[in-house]
Structure 1
Amino acid sequence: MRQFTAIVNPTAGGSTGVAVLLHVARLLREAGAGLETVYSRSLAHACELARQAGQRNRVVLAVGGDGVVGGIGGALSGTDTLFGLVPAGRGNDFARALGLPTDPEALARVLLHSAPRSVDTIEVESAHGRSVVLGSVYAGVDALANRHANRSTLLKGAASYYAGGLRAVATWRPAAYRVTVDSEPLAHRGYTVVAANSPYYGSGRIIAPGARIDDGLLEVVMIREAPRRLFFTLMNELKSGAHVHRPEVRIAQGREVRIEADREVPCGADGEVDAVLPVTARVLPGALAVLC
């Protein structure tokens, strides 16, 4: 029977996140699994707790949103530690990419009985150093929107992302990017560049419908300069992924992506925005074993 260590982000999901964890924890224990719960003080602390649990041959459960899931998953990338998720954040986009159920009983069955799946991770290099994340790296108006959403105290979930997007687009000036995909330079002027391992970001928006979490490739989505009215239409089309059929959207694939710009452009990954361009993202194939 598996032995779990649940690492909890106390600020993610509020009372709903706590309720989901308590329900799942009860089901795991009733099935005979061992479960210990630890609370993180910061993302760096959560990553250290995850490494320590992995060294004790425990299954590490990330309880929180995409930030803590991406951070803990990145910390375990390249190890033999099994990784599980208890989605309890605003976006839960990587859990969505894995097809994880939201029902606690179904989720407990996955954690108890499913075979691990090897998925890709993303190594990220910037002036802030090196890190490993799971879902996507993005640079542009979406990073600015996410920064606004993360700072929102009134709105939660998808509403905070949508409001943050409206605020960001209203003030955004298209940037001149230099994008290099596997040594091929691509000129781009516009709103954003996304190097995606997962199809989803921004609380369920399908930014990269062609992205797969286990194909050893990053899907690079570039949204070109367009009238603001059209850009708002593009934002709405992210709900279905239909935006990729517009001429303003360019798609490329590669194993390594370098993103630069002609000015300071915010850059984020997995729901966290703490860097600016330039940034390099490279895929690490099959680097993480996930229960899903």
Structure 2
Amino acid sequence: MRQFTAIVNPTAGGSTGAAALLQVGRHLREAGAGLETEYSRSLAHAQDLAREAGESGRVVLAVGGDGIAGGIGGALSGTGTLFGLVPAGRGNDFARALELPDDPAALARILLENAPRAVDAVEVESAVHRRTAVLGSVYAGVDALANLHANRARLLRGAASYYAGGLRAVTTWRAADYRVTVDGVEHAHRGYTVVVANSAYYGSGRMIAPGARVDDGLLDVVLIREAPRRLFFALMNELKSGAHIGRPEVRILRGKEITVAADRPVPYGADGEVDAALPVTARVLPGALAVLC
């Protein structure tokens, strides 16, 4: 029987993290599994707790949104520790990519019974992130600014906070000149954003990279070039289905190591955390994390 340590982000989604764990935890305990709960004071603290639990042979559960999922999953990459998710944040995009169920009983069965799946992680290197790892995506431009606005939202949650943040960001954004190097080949790009995606989703269910797979050993690079603002608003709506990739303003590349730089300090984010500016390098870590999904 698996033994679990759940690490809860007490700020993700308000109080929903503890509530989500309570429901899943009841099913785990009824099945005879052990469950310990730790509350993190910060992302770094959560990562330390995860490493300690993993070294003790326990399954580590990240309870919260994409920030704590990516932070803990990244910290456990390459260690062999079994990793699970209890989605309880604004976006839950990596959980969506893994097709995790909303039903607590169904999620508990996966955590108890399923064999682990080896998924890729993304090593992120910059002046701020000195070789850390995340799971979903790295994005630089107007979407990072939108994410920053969403993180600061007090009255809105979920997709609404990201949409409102996007509207605010687009109205003030001016195109940046990017240099995007994919496996040693440099591409010039002027526009709104560059997204380096391990997962298809970001921004609370927006399908930014429909072809991205979490276990293919590659990263999808989505470039959205300069266009009239009205067109960008239309494109934002198309992210719900992935139809935007058919537009001429959208270009997709694929590779294993991507460096993104720009002509000014463009903000970038990684799995919901926005605290740095370009340049940044992202490298795929194939099969680095054993996930129960």
Residue in structure 2 matched with residue 136 of structure 1 by the alignment? 137
Residue in structure 1 matched with residue 228 of structure 2 by the alignment? 227
Aligned-partner SS, 2:15: helix
* 1: CA distance, partners of 2:259 / 2:23: 43
Residue in structure 1 matched with residue 25 of structure 2 by the alignment? 25
Structure 2 residue identity aligned to 1:269: A
Residue in structure 2 matched with residue 77 of structure 1 by the alignment? 77
- Shift, 1:13, TM fit: 2.1
* 1: CA distance, partners of 2:13 / 2:262: 35
1:6-85 to 2 correspondences below 5 Å = 6-85=6-85
* 1: CA distance, partners of 2:96 / 2:172: 31
1:92 aligns with 2:111: no
Do 2:124 and 2:132's aligned partners in 1 also have CA atoms closer than 8 Å? yes
* 1: CA distance, partners of 2:12 / 2:188: 38
1:172-211 to 2 correspondences below 5 Å = 172-211=173-212
Residue in structure 2 matched with residue 258 of structure 1 by the alignment? 259
Aligned residues: CA RMSD:
0.6
* 1: CA distance, partners of 2:226 / 2:85: 37
Structure 2 residue identity aligned to 1:151: R
- Shift, 1:275, TM fit: 0.8
Residue in structure 2 matched with residue 277 of structure 1 by the alignment? 278
* 2: CA distance, partners of 1:196 / 1:210: 10
- Shift, 1:14, TM fit: 2.3
Residue in structure 1 matched with residue 158 of structure 2 by the alignment? 157
Aligned residues: 292
Structure 2 residue identity aligned to 1:94: F
1:208-247 Cα offsets, whole Å, 9 max, x none, are 0000000000000000000000000000000000000000
Structure 1 residue identity aligned to 2:56: R
- Shift, 1:154, TM fit: 1.2
TM-score normalised by length of structure 2: 0.99
Structure 2 residue identity aligned to 1:95: A
Aligned-partner SS, 1:201: coil
* 1: CA distance, partners of 2:17 / 2:48: 22
* 1: CA distance, partners of 2:8 / 2:197: 26
Do 2:7 and 2:37's aligned partners in 1 also have CA atoms closer than 8 Å? yes
* 2: CA distance, partners of 1:229 / 1:13: 31
Residue in structure 2 matched with residue 215 of structure 1 by the alignment? 216
Structure 2 residue identity aligned to 1:122: V
